[in-house]
Amino acid sequence: MTDAYVYVINDITRMYRRDLSASDLSLIGEFTRENISRWLKSDRLDIYGFTDFHAVCGDIDIPWTTEEGRYAESAQEADKRWAEQNAAKNREWMLGQPTNPAV
């Protein structure tokens, strides 16, 4: 299946990514901003008060419409990179330490 996902900013969770299933894509129909917006507003989803989204399906990339959206995604990516880098450093530090240090 084609890589398909949507990043959503809403009033409750702020921002999150949802990978789109074949069923989601079927409900969305043609992959347009209007259809994705309609799908996000549908009763089937628990997305309340969304203010913006960025969606991708294969070669189709529907960008954020607000500066808040662009900033939130770049901040989330930076946080993810920082966490990955620090996790690697912590693993190295832990592996370099004796498991039962002498008292």
Q: Which of 26, 27, 22, 23 is nearest to 38 (CA)?
A: 27
DSSP state of 20: P
Q: pLDDT tens digits, residue range 10-65? A: 776 678 888 999 999 999 999 999 999 999 888 666 666 788 999 999 999 999 99
Where do the domains of the chain lie? 4-96
> Is residue 66's pLDDT more than 60?
yes
Q: How many CA atoms lie within 13 A of 44 on its CB side?
A: 7
Looking at the chain, how many residues does it have? 103
Q: What is the pTM of this model?
A: 0.67
Residue-level pLDDT at 71: 74
